[in-house]
A and B are shown apart, each in its own frame.
Chain A
Amino acid sequence: MPGRPVLIINPRQRPCRMSVAISNRRLTDWFRQWRSPLRKFLSRRGSVASSDVDDISQEVFLRLLRYDQVELVEHPQAYLFKMASNVAAEWSIRARARCPHDSKWLAELLSDDLPEDAAARTKTQEDVERAINSLPPRHREILKLQHYEGLGYAEIAARLGTTSRSVKRSVIKSYQKLRTELDAEYSRVSRYGR
């Protein structure tokens, strides 16, 4: 089993400037543009181990410190996602150079499709379903309206006869709970699944 990939980054290399064209895009569009390498990295089996996300984050954090504050403030989310996907991509390239024989893994990283096979995909869907079902019904309903029906906080609030503030609070609580649930799930997988 090859060792964990190691990042080698030129200290003088700065992230390239982002085009102005991005400035008018909304948050979700930004994320959609940058998420592919990030998702590929984050959703790989065994890579969800918390230490890996932490390692990526450590490098992203250092880049944020080096980066010009004024530019960051313009589109912080876009820069965050771009840096994270850059780090994930560089990480993959380095890993490829280090572990040339791990060809299946390589193929997954290079393909545009999601790296999961059907079984892993089903497993992920089950994990997410189980986590959602661990939430109280009201929180489930709000998440469903948000993601299934694509409603905003205000629309959800109107539908349920409450305030957007309370909808937002519910979403925050749900995310917090789901994060803990899924993290436990993944660490169990990575601990026993190797």
Chain B
Amino acid sequence: MDANERRTRAGMEAAEWWAEMRAADMPRPRREAFVAWLRESPLHVSEMLRVVQLDDALGRFEHWDRISTEASGQNDTVLEFSGNGSLESSRQEGPATAAPTTPPRATLSRRWLAAGMAASSLLVLGVSLWLSSSGQTIETERGERREIALADGSVLQVDPETRMRVKLQEKSRRIVLDRGRALFRVAKDPQRPFLVQANGTVVRAVGTAFAVEHGAQDVVVTVAEGKVAVSVRPRNEPSANPELSAVLIANEQLTVNRSGASSGVRRVDSERELAWTRGRLVFDNTPLAQVLSDFNRYNRVQLRIEGATLAARPVSGTFDASDPESFIAFIQTVARVDVVREDTGNVTIAAAR
């Protein structure tokens, strides 16, 4: 569904809610459903306010007496002479208008449920969001993942320990990724390019899905769908010509290091590379110390390791990021380790004596 369809549907749902609340006081379950609907997307809030605005405008309309309700009234507009009016009204009696009077809840509540499940398996601290002169800031903490829908219809999947600033402007949609990583599902809008900037690297997209990771050393751009243009500028000279630019298509990845150099575009399996967006951690001969630090980013329970040899031990496999217990069970079967649980819930893994 593209951004326009989403908006049209949101507008219809908003009109349905307004009609329902105009008719009578809503019982508690309906109010709960309404709050859930509002909290699903800023688009819902926006369309709701537009309906209210429209209702207000109709309430202030001064010439109802001039509005004709006859099919061939003298005040009819040109539109009616073209036959559109009668077409509409004949359709009104047909089965085509037997549209559901309640919003299509099924898909929405499924999404709601999925979000709830994600929240229950993770420590969700409530994302710190605020607006500053440089736009709106989205910040997640350790163990906190968040899916955020922007007003333009784009959806961001934000990983733990990520900070970014969002600025939706008339001519462009800009995101500055200060640290961490996120997947961007960009709503198509050719008039407003979607730009993600991370440490001098600028990724430009028009309707696509891609991830940007701003790590301590590198910026990694991975494309899941569509096409993006990446350009790298010298850090302190935003007006300088790009030092490097590349076009990435689906299943391609580009890593840019701190000094702006890159080893070129790599072909990757984006499903696998972006497994973290589905809450999965994929390791391929990854040292155990790194594996634990990845788990720690997603969980309140912190894992610690003792012993340099054990820390360097390579691990391969795919795990549920929010389930460190399964990983501990796994490591106990493949290596001789002692697992010590502290009162705080934290776990120390040491080589077996």
Listed in ascending order, the chain A residues whose CB lies under 8 Å from chain B are: 4, 6-11, 26-27, 31, 35, 38-39, 42-43, 49, 51, 53-62, 64-66, 69, 72-74, 76-77, 80-81, 84, 124-125, 128-130, 132-141, 143-144, 147-148, 152-153, 164-165, 168-173, 175-176, 178-180, 182-183
Contacts and interface: CB of A to CB of B under 8 A. Distances in A.
A56 B73 CA distance: 40
B11 A179 contact: yes
A140 B67 contact: yes
Interface residues of B, number: 76
Contacts of B289: none
Nearest to B146: A65
Contacts of B53: 38-39, 42-43, 53
Contacts of A182: 54, 57
B22 interface: yes
Contact of A11 (B45, B58, B129): B129
B130 A137 contact: no
A144 B54 contact: no
Contacts of A49: 170
A59 to B, nearest CB: 7
Contacts, number: 205
B21 interface: yes
A130 B77 CA distance: 8
Given A168-B23, A172-B12, A80 B85 contact: no
Interface string B154-182: 00000000000000111000000000000
Contacts of B150: 58
Residue from B11, B52, B86 whose CB has the most chain A CB atoms within 10 Å:
B52
B5 interface: no
Contact of B19 (A57, A130, A171, A183): A171
Contacts of A56: 46, 49
9 contacts: A8-B133, A57-B49, A65-B127, A76-B31, A129-B66, A138-B89, A143-B67, A153-B22, A176-B12
A65 to B, nearest CB: 6
Contacts of B62: 125
B77 A10 contact: no
Contact of B73 (A65, A80, A137): A137
A138 B136 CA distance: 45
B15 A175 contact: yes
Contact of B51 (A61, A141, A179): A179
A6 B133 contact: yes
A100 to B, nearest CB: 16
B49 A137 contact: no
Interface string B40-74: 01111110111111111111011111111111010
